[in-house]
Amino acid sequence: MKRTIPVSACAAALLVTVLSGCGSSSASHSGAADTTAPSSTASPSAVTTQGVVANASPTAQATVATHNAGGKLGTILVDAKGRTLYLFEADKTDMSTCNGACAAAWPPLLSKGQPMAGSGVKSNLLGTSKRSDGTTQVTYNKHPLYFFSGDTKPGQTNGQDLNQFGALWYVVNAAGNKVET
């Protein structure tokens, strides 16, 4: 069953999440992987008018690994912290079509240099492409990879089968294909 969540609801929820951390001055970012997705502790100066974290550029090489999600999903791609990675069916090449509000809800997996293959990942399927903002996005089997802002813990797959920003979103298996449920 395909689930559709209004884009405005997702954008509003994400903006509230990002802005809720604005009062905190003790936030720190020590892990490089933390810079690949919006943070709920972003400072006001880091948030653009579209709610996108402006300083979300990578500071380290990304790692892609696999995780057994069980059930109908099976083994899927995750980052080094176990966060689920997705593909966007609107991306017909290795170049991302998800920018602005889309990238706020579906942050790209960014890397400084060539990404590393973790457990269960085929290194020959890993690649990168340049985004419209000049950052380097990780691809797998020529699919740009994204996180879902609605996944708040490692291993969650809340973005599976969502229809947002004009197309469907799916988790990716180790062969580099979408997993349909």
pTM: 0.72
Buried-exposed string 144-179: b where 16+ CB fall within 10 A, e elsewhere: bbbbbbbbeeeeebebbbbebbebbbbbbbbebebb
pLDDT for residue 3: 52
Report which of 68, 83, 86 is spatially closest to residue 140, judged by C-alpha positions. 86
Strand partners, 169: 88
User: What are the pLDDT digits (tens) for 31-73?
Assistant: 333 334 433 323 222 333 333 333 356 778 999 999 999 999 9
pLDDT for residue 47: 30
CA distance 100 to 98: 7
Contact present, 121 and 79 (Cβ < 8 Å): no
Residue ranges per domain, the chain? 7-171
pLDDT for residue 71: 93
Q: Give the C-alpha distances (Å, rounded to integers) separating 67 from 73, 97, 102, 121.
A: 10, 26, 25, 10
CA distance 134 to 58: 11
- pLDDT tens, N- to C-terminus, the chain (181 residues): 555 555 444 444 443 333 333 333 332 222 333 334 433 323 222 333 333 333 356 778 999 999 999 999 999 999 999 999 999 999 999 999 999 999 999 999 999 999 999 999 999 999 999 999 999 999 999 999 999 999 999 999 999 999 999 999 999 999 999 999 8
